[in-house]
Amino acid sequence: MLWQPTPRKLSPVLLKTLIGRRQVQRFATGAALFQQGSPVRGVYLVESGEVRLLLAMGGCQKQLLEVAGPGTVLGLSESMGGANYRVTAEAGKVTTAVLIPRDEFLASLREHGDVCMQMVRILSEDLNGLYHRFRSISAHPGRPRQRPLDEQLN
């Protein structure tokens, strides 16, 4: 998934490592970077634009979870664990992202312990953010749930 590490949180060593393995892709508005349930291809680093993270709700309904901007790392936990993508990532407007294929990304982590530790820190921040989000929801059990994406957009 994501949880928006800002560009300043990505060290120069990490950026150099990622840039050295770049496959830049441009996505038109509405184009999918990856689909929920599809096999993981790698980690995406959003360079420009915005990416909407969507969760399938059954049928054709999708719930907007987050909007990611430049500097965000997408698909990190799935790439680390080899799982399928847990959400759909869709360009909210024209977006440029770097794809680091999973095998190359994992090899980079093995070669660079400092980069590996930064990824652990980002995953920890993600987990901490989810914990606080869950606590906030749990503290307000009567609060209405978020509407499906098609209702949010209309």
* Spatial contact of 13 and 50, defined as CB atoms under 8 Å apart: no
pLDDT band at residue 116 under the 50/70/90 scheme: confident
SS3 of residue 4 by DSSP:
coil
From the number of C-beta atoms within 10 Å of its C-beta (0-12, 13-18, 19+), residue 116 rates as: middle
* Spatial contact of 122 and 42, defined as CB atoms under 8 Å apart: no
Q: Let me know if domain 7-138 sits in CATH 2.60.120.10.
A: yes
Q: What percentage of the chain has pLDDT greater than the value 70?
A: 66
- Position 115 scores a pLDDT of 73
When mean pLDDT is compared across 8-22, 89-103, 123-137, the lowest value belongs to: 8-22
- Domain boundaries defined on the chain: 7-138
Cα Rg of the chain (Å, integer): 16
Question: With 60 as the cut, is the pLDDT of residue 34 above it?
Answer: yes
Return the structure tokens found at 143. Answer: 């609060």
When mean pLDDT is compared across 33-37, 59-63, 100-104, 120-124, the lowest value belongs to: 120-124
- Position 8 scores a pLDDT of 37
- Position 5 scores a pLDDT of 40
Question: With 50 as the cut, is the pLDDT of residue 52 above it?
Answer: yes
Question: With 80 as the cut, is the pLDDT of residue 119 above it?
Answer: no
SS3 of residue 75 by DSSP:
coil
- Position 120 scores a pLDDT of 74
Return the structure tokens found at 142. Answer: 């009567």
Q: Which range has highest mean pLDDT (51-55, 72-76, 119-123)? A: 51-55
pLDDT band at residue 137 under the 50/70/90 scheme: low
